Structure 1
Amino acid sequence: MIERAELLSGWTLSCNDTGRLGLPEFIPAAVPGCVHLDLLANRLIPDPYLDVNEISSDWIGKTEWTYRCSFEAAPDERKVHELVFDGLDTIATIRLNGEEVARTFNQHRTYRFDVSALLKAGVNELSVTFHSAYAHGAEMEKRYGYRPNNYPGPGNLMRKMACNFGWDWGPTLVTAGIWKPVRLESWDRARLLETRVSATLAGGDGLVKVHAKLTQHGASGACRIDAEIAGVFHAVEIAEGAGEVSFDIRVPSPQLWWPHHLGAQPLYPLKIELRDSVNDDLRDSYSKEIGFRSVRLDTAPDAHGSAFTFIVNEVPLFICGANWIPDDCFPSRVTSHGYVSRIAEAKAANINMLRVWGGGIFERDGFYEACDRAGMLVWQDFLFACAAYPEEEPLRSEVEAEVRDNVVRLMSHASLIVWNGNNENIWGFDEWGWRPIIKEGVTWGLGYYLDLLPKLCAELDPDRPYYPGSPYSGTMDIAPNADEHGCKHIWDVWNDVGYEVYRNYIPRFCSEFGWQAPPSWATLEENVHDNPLTPQSHGVFHHQKATHGNERLIRGLAGHLPIPKTMADWHFATQLNQARAIRFAVEHMRSHRSICKGAVVWQFNDCWPVTSWSALDSAGRRKPLWYALQQAFDPRLLTIQPRGDKLAAIAVNERTLFWRSKISGRRVKLDGTVLAEFEFWRLLCDRFESKEFILPDDIATPAAADDEVVVVEMLDKRAFHYFVEDVHLKLPRPQFEVAVTRVVDGCEVEVTARSFLKDICLMADRLDPTAVAGSMLVTLLPGESHVFTLNTKRPISSDDIVPGVVLRSANDLLW
């Protein structure tokens, strides 16, 4: 059996820049970790997340660093001894007992080095020197020549997390370090070199495909692979010297794995053991939890262009998704519990797919395991984003190696449903002015997306779809961001116009669209200490990385909400506008379900405290957008949409059962006076369907557009339609009553409206930074009540629910 000795303690860090004064010669270091975290833990730098401290950390990424540790060993010449690094960030030289073991150039690979000849009995000295990524980038630019990059830094010239060098939501914190575990492995005779496992369906049965590669040492003798899953056992004899073996295991009638909104997520333990054929000794083992499901991507031509529909277990899905970025600028700091918590928040927001975006990392195993258990689908980008990439050596071989590593590592996961070639690079070449820069014959990445990556996926993981890019229309003969084909990104709305323009598009699948807002108030106060806080104060402005971001926040209010006059109103108005913009877009796309099969919002999470497109800020606090997603992504949605010169109530049903109910509605004045009403005895919306109901003219036609609203109800669902935007709507001064009742785990806050109240928000973090509100963005007619649940340990009274601070509504912004 393989002996594994983890090398995770006793490490020190040294700065190799002799001009850097004031640092200790040896700094206690953590592995896994990175230089920034070690300096921070030893109080040698200020927290780069606070205020404008980021800029005082620039020198760290431009400096050479060495990690060192000592460990005891008792080498056995009959065995192979290997150093295994699960992740090195990024340009590293490894030495053992003063001898160079290897040089590495890729953050996204696992490295294994035979050190049998260097290991000695007793104390061994291991060092890893990390060279400046900037210096390496300069060398690579001399080698490859310039390639366009939408963001600063040389991220496209090396295999390192691109957003390390700064993005329009992230800081420039260029990391170095041993960011995943390291260990010494000792083995004899044979071990599993690579184990590829995929699971799919074969009719009513589950089919597990196993391909194992072996490496052997000395006279290994014959061996055997034993595999077991769901009570089915399979054994394969392997002759001495044989290098690989493939076999299938058929599991009769397994329970199917489903996305969380459709069914359960049964997982079956798979155990694979490599054993000696003669004495049955265990040499190596592999284990995974397997979910059985089928997946394909339908891109067939149709009357609207060509489809882009994910089909799981033969069910065509509408994807209610969000883009996932690295959850921390220092990924080693993200824990398995952190993954579980974030994915639970996504599931609670009715998100059924997370797209792991290509400017970040292949996440660690815990992310995909949590998605498997939660029924959260995963779209995985290969790591190319917003830039042109050289295809020459040595970069090409690094790309191939990292793809092989990560496809093999991740392909067993039921949650993973697609490999995507790149983020915005084909679009960039086509529309961002790259063509004049990239002369004929100069590579820019297309060969990866259309040749290398699909070949590797077909070789390693043929049961899972691959798609060349996002956005991409399925062929280079069609503009990459076309509505009618493939997947689309909608960014002109945020960048240039108002969110009402979302209705101009009916994409086949929208894999990016978004709107900005600041983080929660508590997160802002914890990380920015400007006095006073204003949108333009140094710290607040520094935590806005988008070009003209604050100006776009204000421009985006135009025609919808008034320009805020105070910091508190700026914070609330921009958060509210973000929530409304995305709800508007999602409801529009879902109402065209027969054409559009996915809305993947940018973005779900944050990597640091920042004004961004996220629904959940870096502290894990829910912005109003989170609640808007929960409502707009509800598997049963009722929405009111224009259809020609009419208004239609549209029911959208992603549940497994049909939705049949009376549908009723009324046009009312804001004071509650009913002006017209209707009732239709029964509207039937089948599963995986949208159904339109044209509203009667007396409902859809206002007498006084600025003082009326349409309310439509279907069972427990309710939809509102306003004839004018808030800036022209006669929203009354907010009047309400509040009653607070203590319950287990918190309290209930009952709000009773005495005037029309639009989009009521209980800002939980204003009461308690750890509090979580159960609902938000609630609209009440006069006389109606709503109970907000509040999870908090702090005693709350009605006096704490301060109007205009804790309890906010759109009405506040008009008065």
Structure 2
Amino acid sequence: MEKNLNQNWSMTFEPYGTFTTALPASVYTVLLREGKIPDPFYGLNEFSVRELSRNDSVFFTSFHLTGDELKREHLILRFDCIDTIATVFVNGVPVGRADNMFAAWDFEIGFAAREGTNTLRVEIDSPIRCAEEAQDADHLWGQEEWMTMRGYQHLRKAHCMFGWDWGPQLPDMGIYRGVRLLAYDGARLEDFLVLQHHRKDGSVELTVTAEFSDGVPHNGVVSVKDPDGGQMDAPLADGKASFMVESPRLWWPHGYGEQPLYTVTVCAGEQGEQTKRIGLRTLTVSTAQDRWGSEFAFVVNGVKIFAMGADYIPEDNLIPRVTPERTAALIRSCVEANYNCLRVWGGGYYPDDALFDLCDENGLIVWQDFMFACAVYRLTDAFRESVTREFVHNIKRLRSHPSLGLLCGNNEMEMAWVDWGLPKNETLRMDYLELYERLLPRIVRQYAPQTFYWPASPSTNGGFDNPNSPDGGDVHYWDVWHGSKPFEDYRNYYFRFCSEFGFEAFPDCETLRGIGEEKDMNPFSRVMESHQKCAGGNQKILNYLAGEYRYPSSFENFVYASQLLQMDAIKYGVEHFRRFRGRCMGAVYWQLNDIWSGPSWASVDYYGRWKALHYAAKRFFAPVLLSIHLGDGKAVLNISNETRNVFRGTVRAGIRTAANQEVLSLEQSCTVDALSSLDVLVQPVDTLTEEQRYSCYFCCELLDENGSLLSRDTALFVKPKHFEFLDPCLTADVLLHDGKISVRVSASAYARGVRLSAGDLPVRFTDNYFDLTGSRVTVDVVAVSKEPVSLQELEKKLSVCSVYGIG
């Protein structure tokens, strides 16, 4: 018997009283829904709402048991997520205590249960009080000096709920993912592991091992259903079954092939039944030695993949507001921007299955951090027990997903020990090695033997051996932004895999107006600075702005310019890394998404609106990329071919005046091998006069072998602030053809960074923040909600601008 207990709960939180709710639920979401607290994301409300978490909370419900159910050998309450320090009572009797929001909790309740109505009560302790008391008793190094609340590292709770340099201090508490009541005799099927052996003849042998609650193997039947519905069955004998797939359909990352999924079902009779989807593939990471050091490359089905994507953080500070639909919209944005990879950052929480299901279906390799970030942890017996429960639960939950590419011990802790000046405590240093280089890899080998483990990010494979080295492993590069280096600094490095690099920008004004009044629409207003969680972040944006663009004439233009800066910065990095494919094998920028509304490194804001960076990502993560490198008196055009086919096409390039008059015209046919990068054209430009450098630009476009346009790009010989732009007299006409709406943008002169805005309408465009080198470009309008948008509505809200109009 299994009963879902997610309905008919109540929450008591003083001084506000008692309210009914369903699960998932949290203190903040219930109080916000009931109108008892203001929106914590609006204005300065964060700070008053935060203090509510100094109080305890209680969630309670009741459930019914029959006499037969009560007689069962096992009567278990299973909580998939309690946040965080909590005591569980049945009929007033304590049945268990939870101390880790990342783990599932099973509590035997037979000794406390009774026939008929039973009460279930969960008392959750104040997370602020628990954290501060633990820090007072045992001070451990962390980030509280400048961006978080004290003591977050003592709790197995999403660290970013205590604040981060892109999110608020709102340490909510509640019950997430659900509660079930299980009643059974004997054993129960708990999980199963599927291992794949890919043979040289192309066939794949599957070995299924079922895991039962009593630790004893049982019998049953296992079925494997292929993507077309064909089914194979095999007996489960002593907990094992095997299959031979003679003509497998392999799972590939997005851009390299399809994502067929097989369904595996284990039926063990009275012990239960479980189903999982798998993909047939090999997936590991190569760290082989080469002439530059040691590579770091995902290898799928024997093919080395250039990872392209971003770092994922929690989608909301109020976790119950994260829905499968919302996550699906975010993953669609990744796929549309040509991602093939996501890194789940270690200061949040392990994502729901919905995210991994979507990554399975769409071919996004997931780099999954364990939940440790930017802090020191003491490995007491109790802490070891708690995190071991966490590790086993999440490894078993995620291991069958074909998208799972890597399990990583922590975020930035090895680098912190080496480079950040931590207090040199040898005991804590040894705890680090025990946790990430002994305990975790041992558990991964036991429960997910075919999943690659990496001890930290960044790392060169542990042992405190130069963890942020450019010559091996993965790198977090922050000299552009935190170090105030110019964008061009990316070109001084040839990282093997860059798993963090980023640049901040403000989200669209439509998003910002949701956090403050019109008087707050200033980068240095109190509200705007309270939503800027990176110390000195707005000043950094202005500093970079001074180097690149003219001073904006309005707040709207400042927001627009900040997004251009972000786009330019990451474009510099990604294009450089892709030019050196083979030496560099990954460009994963910080960060994909936002946890609330405000300036941040995200390319998709809290409401799902694309910043300029995300439109640019669609271009610079294109399977075949044409990029320009201006420097040393020449223009170098490079094609990066991240497909498994030879590319043949034509490059057209040249130099034009701001009025789009040709100064130089070039055309070059090209052939680029699969999975490679090649400089296809080198043009000297050192003969340009001083006047031409300020009034001419370099342009190029790439056509495939059928003459179809794939992409175009431009580059300036001087900073945009000094270029002699002409007024492009931009116009944007809304068109309707075959029921589809598009926008035709026209210009009388070169227009850089052309931005289309539909205001608060729920649409985006197939391209935006692009350079217009001809007379016109047409882009399609994409609806992002179920609400239809009419041509008339779009005409009313549509606006267009370019760099010419910044100031």
Say yes or no: TM over 0.5.
yes
The yes-or-no answer on 1:807 pairing with 2:800 is: yes
Distance 1:124 1:385 in 2: 40
Q: Deviations over 1:37-70 (max 9, x none)?
A: 1111111111101111111112222111111111
Once the two structures are TM-superposed, the CA of residue 293 in structure 1 deviates from its matched residue by 0.6
The yes-or-no answer on 1:382 pairing with 2:370 is: yes
One of 492, 498, 512 as aligned partner of 2:479 = 492
SS of aligned partner of 2:806: helix
Once the two structures are TM-superposed, the CA of residue 227 in structure 1 deviates from its matched residue by 0.8
SS of aligned partner of 2:252: coil
Provide the residue aligned with 1:453 in structure 2.
440
Once the two structures are TM-superposed, the CA of residue 800 in structure 1 deviates from its matched residue by 3.8
Q: Which amino acid aligns with 1:793?
A: V
The yes-or-no answer on 1:629 pairing with 2:623 is: no
One of 468, 492, 498 as aligned partner of 2:455 = 468
Q: Deviations over 1:571-595 (max 9, x none)?
A: 1111111111111211111111121
The yes-or-no answer on 1:87 pairing with 2:81 is: yes
Kindly report which structure 2 residues correspond to 1:469-618, keeping only aligned pairs within 5 A, or say none.
469-476=456-463, 478-497=465-484, 498-531=486-519, 533-618=521-606
Contact 1:699 1:710 in 2 (8 A): no
Contact 2:57 2:125 in 1 (8 A): yes
Distance 1:56 1:348 in 2: 39
Provide the residue aligned with 2:714 in structure 1.
720
Once the two structures are TM-superposed, the CA of residue 752 in structure 1 deviates from its matched residue by 1.6
Provide the residue aligned with 1:241 in structure 2.
none
Provide the residue aligned with 2:728 in structure 1.
734
Distance 1:555 1:598 in 2: 29
Distance 1:506 1:644 in 2: 18
Distance 1:223 1:456 in 2: 24
Contact 2:520 2:527 in 1 (8 A): no
The yes-or-no answer on 1:360 pairing with 2:348 is: yes
Q: Which amino acid aligns with 1:813?
A: I
Identity of aligned residues (%): 31
Q: Which amino acid aligns with 1:171?
A: P
Contact 1:739 1:798 in 2 (8 A): no
Once the two structures are TM-superposed, the CA of residue 785 in structure 1 deviates from its matched residue by 3.7
Most deviating of 641-650 and 180-189: 641-650
Q: Which amino acid aligns with 2:9?
A: W
The yes-or-no answer on 1:166 pairing with 2:153 is: no
Distance 2:795 2:316 in 1: 37
Q: Which amino acid aligns with 1:266?
A: P
Distance 1:338 1:532 in 2: 28
SS of aligned partner of 1:322: strand
The yes-or-no answer on 1:208 pairing with 2:196 is: no
Once the two structures are TM-superposed, the CA of residue 748 in structure 1 deviates from its matched residue by 1.8
Distance 1:198 1:769 in 2: 48
Distance 2:400 2:168 in 1: 34
Give the TM-score, by structure 2 length. Answer: 0.93
Once the two structures are TM-superposed, the CA of residue 188 in structure 1 deviates from its matched residue by 1.8
Distance 1:171 1:474 in 2: 33
Q: Which amino acid aligns with 2:341?
A: M
Distance 2:49 2:205 in 1: 51
SS of aligned partner of 1:234: strand
Distance 1:741 1:143 in 2: 67
Q: Deviations over 1:431-474 (max 9, x none)?
A: 1110x353566555232211111111111111111111111122
Once the two structures are TM-superposed, the CA of residue 566 in structure 1 deviates from its matched residue by 1.7
Q: Which amino acid aligns with 1:210?
A: V
Flag structure 2 segments of 5+ consecutive residues without an equivalent: 226-230, 704-708
Q: Which amino acid aligns with 1:135?
A: R
Once the two structures are TM-superposed, the CA of residue 686 in structure 1 deviates from its matched residue by 1.1
The yes-or-no answer on 1:153 pairing with 2:150 is: yes
Provide the residue aligned with 1:648 in structure 2.
636
Flag the 1:39–1:813 CA change in 2: closer, same or farther, 3 A: same
SS of aligned partner of 2:439: helix
Flag the 1:757–1:132 CA change in 2: closer, same or farther, 3 A: same
Distance 2:364 2:334 in 1: 8
Once the two structures are TM-superposed, the CA of residue 31 in structure 1 deviates from its matched residue by 1.5
Provide the residue aligned with 2:117 in structure 1.
123
One of 6, 21, 30 as aligned partner of 1:8 = 6
SS of aligned partner of 2:480: helix
Aligned-residue Cα RMSD (Å) equals 2.1
One of 417, 423, 426 as aligned partner of 1:429 = 417
One of 793, 796, 805 as aligned partner of 2:789 = 793
One of 67, 70, 77 as aligned partner of 2:62 = 70
One of 245, 256, 260 as aligned partner of 1:262 = 256
Give the TM-score, by structure 1 length. Answer: 0.92
Distance 1:651 1:700 in 2: 25
Distance 2:187 2:306 in 1: 47
Q: Which amino acid aligns with 2:57?
A: W
The yes-or-no answer on 1:50 pairing with 2:42 is: yes
Q: Which amino acid aligns with 1:234?
A: A
The yes-or-no answer on 1:224 pairing with 2:219 is: yes
Distance 1:740 1:697 in 2: 41
Contact 2:730 2:800 in 1 (8 A): no
Once the two structures are TM-superposed, the CA of residue 390 in structure 1 deviates from its matched residue by 1.3
Flag structure 1 segments of 5+ consecutive residues without an equivalent: 239-244, 276-281
Distance 1:600 1:201 in 2: 29
Q: Which amino acid aligns with 1:667?
A: I
Provide the residue aligned with 2:52 in structure 1.
60
Distance 1:312 1:333 in 2: 35
SS of aligned partner of 1:637: strand
Provide the residue aligned with 2:187 in structure 1.
190
Most deviating of 83-92 and 787-796: 787-796
Q: Deviations over 1:610-645 (max 9, x none)?
A: 211111111111111110110110111000125765
Give every structure 1 segment of 4 or more consecutive aligned residues whose post-TM-superposition deviation is greater than 6 Å. Answer: none
Distance 2:657 2:503 in 1: 31
Provide the residue aligned with 1:233 in structure 2.
233
One of 409, 412, 426 as aligned partner of 2:397 = 409
SS of aligned partner of 2:120: strand
Once the two structures are TM-superposed, the CA of residue 798 in structure 1 deviates from its matched residue by 9.0
Flag the 1:475–1:126 CA change in 2: closer, same or farther, 3 A: closer
Once the two structures are TM-superposed, the CA of residue 142 in structure 1 deviates from its matched residue by 5.2
Q: Which amino acid aligns with 1:455?
A: R
Once the two structures are TM-superposed, the CA of residue 699 in structure 1 deviates from its matched residue by 8.3
How many aligned residue pairs are there?
784
Contact 1:198 1:411 in 2 (8 A): no
Contact 1:591 1:650 in 2 (8 A): yes
Distance 1:387 1:741 in 2: 54
SS of aligned partner of 2:587: strand
SS of aligned partner of 2:325: helix
Distance 1:327 1:258 in 2: 26
Provide the residue aligned with 2:339 in structure 1.
351
Contact 2:191 2:274 in 1 (8 A): no
Flag the 1:259–1:782 CA change in 2: closer, same or farther, 3 A: closer
Provide the residue aligned with 1:314 in structure 2.
302
Distance 1:700 1:742 in 2: 47
Distance 1:471 1:549 in 2: 23
One of 762, 765, 777 as aligned partner of 1:770 = 762
Q: Which amino acid aligns with 2:432?
A: G
Distance 1:89 1:723 in 2: 54
Distance 1:552 1:813 in 2: 18
Kindly report which structure 2 residues correspond to 1:96-135, keeping only aligned pairs within 5 A, or say none.
96-135=90-129
